[in-house]
């Protein structure tokens, strides 16, 4: 981690969904994210990416998907400058293995992580692997992480898997009414709050809880008084969170 006294801020963001085919201008979307990363280089101590950074990614043993060059380059510049980068896999970039770890020097995390950041204890997660989740979703997630399923999936030519994955993602994003989306988010926020209160009861030393996944920017206090932040997304919100050792704040990136 960067120990320079001027690099004293930790950044959290999630749900960039780079490469999604429902985004009107993918290059402009990626450029906006890159400009944000460039803007934090002067004070970033660490960067936590809490999942669904890429809308789809499957990392084969000897080849990787095309695209994201400027984004990966911006991450590499931060890493080379001493910024610690931790990437949590989400439900869209679940098949992130060792390529970016080895090429850029970032850390890949595939489950919820309890970590001490500048004297405060955080629980960090994409949000799809904590609290109550529908049974079908839990089964799908199990398949995604199962080594046998991954091997079978990798044997299918990418000309078939990439359109399938992007089509599924697009339908999940656009195939529901706003009322259905809002109801689902409300229920999911309630499940997260219940999880936070239960976890904090068992781990009272935890100060803050940060999640992604729900595509809603939220800074709230649970029924038991625990601070919980949901990071929002970069599809149309451009929200992120910072911590400087004292203040934990939710922001919107504006140029």
Q: Which two tokens stand for residue 99?
A: 């390529």
Examine the pLDDT at 135 and tell me if it is beyond 90: no
Structural domains in the chain?
9-252 (3.60.21.10)
Q: How far apart are CA 185 and CA 165, in angstroms?
A: 23
Strand ordering across the sheet containing 9-13: 107-109, 84-88, 44-49, 9-13, 239-243, 248-252
Place of tokens 């990437």: 87
Q: What is the mean pLDDT of residues 212-228?
A: 92
Q: Which of 195, 252, 251, 205 is nearest to 228 (CA)?
A: 195
Written in H, E and C, the secondary structure of the chain is CCCCCCCCEEEEECCCCECCCCCCCHHHHHHHHHHHHHHCCCCEEEEEECCCCECCCECCCCCCCCCCHHHHHHHHHHHHCCCEEEEECCCCCCECCCHHHHHHCCEEECCCEEEEECCEEEEEECCCCCCCCCHHHHHHHHHHHCHHHHHHHHCCCHHHHHHHHHHHHHHHHHCCCHHHHHHHHHHHHHHHHHHHHHHHHHCCCCCEEEECCCCCEEEEECCCCCEEEEECCCCCCCEEEEECCCCEEEEECCC
**4 pLDDT exceeds 80?**
no
pLDDT at 25: 92
Question: What mean pLDDT do residues 80-86 have?
Answer: 96
71-91 average pLDDT score = 96
- Tell me the mean pLDDT in the region 97-111: 94
Side-chain-side CA neighbours of 214 within 13 Å: the count stands at 26
pLDDT at 177 over 70: no
The encoded tokens of residue 46 equal 């660490």
To the question of pTM greater than 0.75 for the whole model, the response is yes
């Amino acid at each position: 981690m960067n120990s320079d006294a001027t690099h004293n801020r930790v950044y959290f963001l999630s749900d960039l969904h780079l490469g999604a085919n429902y985004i009107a201008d993918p290059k402009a979307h990626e450029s906006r994210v890159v400009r944000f990363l460039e803007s934090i280089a002067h004070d970033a101590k660490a960067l936590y990416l809490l999942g669904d950074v890429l809308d789809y990614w499957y990392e084969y043993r000897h080849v990787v998907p095309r695209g994201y060059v400027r984004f990966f380059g911006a991450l590499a510049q931060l890493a080379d400058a001493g910024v610690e980068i931790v990437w949590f896999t989400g439900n869209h970039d679940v098949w992130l293995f060792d390529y970016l770890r080895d090429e850029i020097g970032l850390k890949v995390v595939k489950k919820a992580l309890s970590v001490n950041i500048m004297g405060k204890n955080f629980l960090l997660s994409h949000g799809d692997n904590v609290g109550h989740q529908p049974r079908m979703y839990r089964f799908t997630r199990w398949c995604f992480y199962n080594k046998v399923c991954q091997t079978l999936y990798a044997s299918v030519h990418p000309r078939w898997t990439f359109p399938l994955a992007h089509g599924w993602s697009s339908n999940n994003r656009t195939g529901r009414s706003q009322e259905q989306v809002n109801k689902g988010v409300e229920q999911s926020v309630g499940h997260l709050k219940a999880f936070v209160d239960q976890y904090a009861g068992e781990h009272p030393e935890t100060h803050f809880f940060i999640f992604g996944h729900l595509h809603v920017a939220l800074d709230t206090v649970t029924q038991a008084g625990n601070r919980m932040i949901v990071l929002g997304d970069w599809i149309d919100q451009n929200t992120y969170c910072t911590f400087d050792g004292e203040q934990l704040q939710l922001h919107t990136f504006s140029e």
